[in-house]
Structure 1
C-alpha cells in the first residue's frame, strides 16, 4: 500500500496519524474507508473498507491511497471533493491519475 503525499482526509477521521500507522502495518481500522486509484482502465477510483483491503484475495494487490474517510457516506463525499479538485486543475474529471502523479 502506497500513500499519496497529498492524500485527502475526511472531516470525521480522528487520530489521522494513528490510522495511517495502522494501515501501513496492514491492520484494519474500524469504519475507515480508503479511496484508492484504480489499477485498471475501467475504474478511476475504488472505495474500499480497510478490513477488506487486508483479506487474502486482495493481499497481493498494490493500492495507492489518495483519501481516507470515516464511514461510507463520508467516503462518497470525499470522492466528490477529489473529482472537483481534479476538474478545477485539468478541466477533465477523468485525469485523476495524472493529478496524483504530479507528486
Structure 2
C-alpha cells in the first residue's frame, strides 16, 4: 500500500506521543518519589525530552542524510521529513500528556 506524507506525519506524531508520555510520566514519578525540588523535576523532564529525541529522531535523520543511498526507493524525502515533523509534534504533545498523567498519580 502506498502511503502519503500525511500518513507518515500522523504515524510519527503517534509514536512521539506514546514514547514521550511514558518517559515524561516516569521521569516525573521518579523525581517526586525521591522528594525532589522543582529544579530536579525540570532536569528529569529535560532528560526525558532528550532521551525521546535520541530514540525517535536518530533513524530518520540518518536516512535523510547519511544513509540516503541505502534507503528504499519508494520512500521519498518528503516522507522522511514528514516523519521527523510528526515525531517532533508528538514529543511536544507527549510531554504535556505525560505531565498530566503523572499529576493524576500524585
TM-score, normalised relative to structure 1: 0.26
Which fold has the larger relative contact order, with Cα–Cα distance below 8 Å and residues 6 or more apart in sequence?
2
Larger Cα-atom Rg: 2
TM-score, normalised relative to structure 2: 0.26
If each structure's strand is expressed as a fraction of its own residues, which one has the higher value?
Answer: 1
